[in-house]
Amino acid sequence: MTVIDLPTAAAPARMAGTAQTAQPWLEHYPPGVGAAVEVPAHLTLVDILEDSMRRYANRTASRCLERTLTFGQIDQLSLALGAWLQSTGLKQGDRVALMMPNVPQYMVAIAAVLRAGYAVVNVNPLYTARELEHQLKDSGAKAIIVLENFASTLEEAIDKTDVKHVVVTGLGDLIGWWKGRFVNFAVRHLRKMVPEYRLPLDGGRTVTRWRQAIEQGRSRTLQRPTISPDDVAFLQYTGGTTGVSKGATLLHRNVVANVLQTEAWFKPKLDEIGHKQLVIVCALPLYHIFALTICYLMGARMGSQNLLIPNPRDIPGFINTLRNVKVNMFPAVNTLFNALANEPEFAKLDWSGLKVSNGGGMAVQQATAEKWMRVTGCPVVEGYGLSETSPVATSNRLDLKEFSGTIGLPIPSTDIAIRDDDGRDVPIGQPGEICIKGPQVMAGYWNRPDETAKVMTPDGYFKSGDVGIMDERGYVRIVDRKKDMILVSGFNVYPTEIEQVVGLHPGVLECAAVGIPDERSGEAVKLFVVKKDGASISEDEIAAYCRENFTAYKRPKIIEFRDDLPKSNVGKILRRELRSDA
């Protein structure tokens, strides 16, 4: 791993003589927000979580399936789970993977892993065995906590990884004794949502049920390790131009900084609810950096309640859940805002307490923002960030009253430079690559110094790969994407990964993947395929192959067969021409 030395206070102004005025955005900050946040040199995420558990012990920390957990209960459960993890012989700094949707166990597990001195590897539970195997092998994870619904996928991948200890949990394990058992029975036997699995026990591997791990851990004492702000807290996997998923290495100090930065940006607006507990809708998956930082970690620091939504695709069920609680903050991606705002029953809910609707992960569309405003009376405030920036780098002001069409201003302690291909700042109003500097920028890509070097500049900026324009006030607007990345409902899809895997199909000579506009997801994947001579493959066959190898958002929505693909004079497939054709 390559670690970059980054500042923990205000980012310095750029050198004199560059084309952009140093930090013009500071003059346009909302009242009560300073230019920089102070990040105590010793502070870790464990400090933040344990402080919240003490101060807000009796407050509800999470609500899921009509059952609640307090901060105090999460404190005791995470101590027990952390002690159990230590009893397996894991060493400080080892990686523990979490493969669950938004269930209370996730909140307990994150706290347990961090308190025990390990690093969290967040895994999309809808990954295929191939995708899961890569992430577990690349991270070197020694343990995994998995919802039983996805244990069959783990079974296919585990033998090729270093995972030695598995904790399996059921959907109902933390929603009460009787209700939990009923939910688990219904999920397993009535709805048949748990495919049969048999996790191997050879090679010293252990498989333990959640309740058993908690009970065994209660009889032990967590041995508190010395945790440094420079220790790894999370490996957030993100794609790359090579098609190989890479782990953005987020140190405790990176994420702590972003929690404090976003808290400083949000606080003046959220203070409008007074001393009441803030209620956050957590429909975005906790394995995604947006929800992880904004909902869970910033929420914990502020003593907030997270309304956990395990399946946000179930719109009627989602709306029914919202009937029972008055919410104050609603982070989401454009597709979710759009789906909800267009449901008649959603408009009947009480939105008088909603103060912040913050959009990220993908571009918020004006039509969606205007519809949401009409229904809820709360504007969608768009921000911008990446896994590599923990994630928040810019945000619109929270006192915004109408759609701005920008990603806002750099948040406190953050510097944004718009640069050309030679690394020079471009004049105000001219397009260039968005480059980000601040204490929230990752330490590097896990075990990939070559990839880290490609995205970090000599003066400490992270090159986002997005092309933007900054105006004279410091507001930034994204105009293009430097990479060929496809953004599907806020998730990155990299064409090279799709092409490499589909290219292994015996009937495919060559292929190319591009993004096309899609009303629901912003973009969707279109796949162009050239068959091998004599091959009789069909669209259905390629679609089935993709279902086996890709999680849902990566699968091509359209498959088109061609006799050949456009290429440059050196033989490179011209995706730009294919996008134009599409």
Query: Which whole number is the average pLDDT over 449-466?
Result: 96
- Where does a domain end: 421, 456, 481? 481
- Co-location of 188 and 110 in the same domain: yes
State the Cα–Cα distance between residues 63 and 103, nearest whole angstrom. Answer: 9
CA separation, residue 353 to residues 288, 329, 393, 562 (Å): 26, 9, 27, 54
Q: What pLDDT does 274 receive? A: 86
Tell me whether residue 509 is in a domain: yes
Tell me whether residue 14 is in a domain: no
Query: Which whole number is the average pLDDT over 485-496?
Result: 86
In the structure, what pLDDT confidence band is assigned to residue 239 with cuts at 50, 70 and 90?
low
Number of domains in the chain: 3
In the structure, what pLDDT confidence band is assigned to residue 560 with cuts at 50, 70 and 90?
very high
Lowest-confidence region among 19-23, 48-52, 85-89, 226-230: 19-23
- Co-location of 511 and 432 in the same domain: no
Tell me whether residue 156 is in a domain: yes
pLDDT tens per residue across span 36-72:
999 999 999 999 999 999 999 999 999 999 999 999 9
Lowest-confidence region among 53-67, 80-94, 261-275, 286-300: 261-275
pLDDT tens per residue across span 424-440:
999 999 989 999 999 99
pLDDT tens per residue across span 376-411:
999 999 999 999 999 999 999 999 888 898 999 999
CATH code: domain of residue 307: 3.40.50.12780
Q: Is the pLDDT of residue 518 over 80?
A: yes
Tell which residue, 244, 173, 205, 229, has the closest CA to residue 492. 244
Q: Is the pLDDT of residue 16 over 90?
A: no
pLDDT tens per residue across span 292-314:
999 999 999 999 999 999 999 89
DSSP conformational letter for 158: G
Structural contact between residues 574 and 568, judged by C-beta atoms closer than 8 angstroms: yes
- Co-location of 185 and 222 in the same domain: yes
3-state SS, residue 572: coil
- Where does a domain end: 458, 481, 504? 481
State the Cα–Cα distance between residues 20 and 14, nearest whole angstrom. Answer: 8
Query: Which whole number is the average pLDDT over 420-424?
Result: 93
Q: What pLDDT does 245 receive? A: 85
Written as one letter, the residue type at 263 is E
Tell me whether residue 48 is in a domain: no
State the Cα–Cα distance between residues 144 and 523, nearest whole angstrom. Answer: 32
- Co-location of 284 and 351 in the same domain: yes
Q: What pLDDT does 80 receive? A: 98
- Co-location of 425 and 320 in the same domain: yes
Bigger pLDDT: 301 or 9? 301
Tell me whether residue 60 is in a domain: no
- Co-location of 91 and 126 in the same domain: yes
- Co-location of 222 and 258 in the same domain: no
Tell me whether residue 50 is in a domain: no
Q: What pLDDT does 569 receive? A: 53
In the structure, what pLDDT confidence band is assigned to residue 20 with cuts at 50, 70 and 90?
low
- Co-location of 505 and 461 in the same domain: no
pLDDT tens per residue across span 141-179:
999 999 999 999 999 999 999 999 999 999 999 998 899
Tell me whether residue 102 is in a domain: yes
Structural contact between residues 4 and 456, judged by C-beta atoms closer than 8 angstroms: yes
- Where does a domain end: 481, 501, 528? 481
- Co-location of 132 and 258 in the same domain: no
Q: Is the pLDDT of residue 7 over 70?
A: no
Q: Is the pLDDT of residue 18 over 70?
A: no
- Co-location of 81 and 132 in the same domain: yes
Query: Which whole number is the average pLDDT over 111-118?
Result: 98
Bigger pLDDT: 322 or 579? 322
Say how far residue 432 (Cα) sits from the centre of its chain: 25
Query: Which whole number is the average pLDDT over 451-479?
Result: 95
- Co-location of 475 and 492 in the same domain: no
Range(s) of the domain holding residue 175: 70-227
Q: What pLDDT does 21 receive? A: 54
Strand partners, 280: 306, 329
CATH code: domain of residue 135: 3.40.50.980
Q: Is the pLDDT of residue 13 over 60?
A: no
- Co-location of 456 and 428 in the same domain: yes
Q: Return mean pLDDT, the chain.
A: 92
Q: What pLDDT does 364 receive? A: 84
State the Cα–Cα distance between residues 137 and 340, nearest whole angstrom. Answer: 38
DSSP structure string for 46-113 = HHHHHHHHHHTTTSEEEEETTEEEEHHHHHHHHHHHHHHHHHTTPPTT-EEEEE--S-HHHHHHHHHH
Q: What pLDDT does 6 receive? A: 37
Query: Which whole number is the average pLDDT over 107-135?
Result: 97
Tell me whether residue 11 is in a domain: no
Neighbours of 341 (CB within 10 A): 20
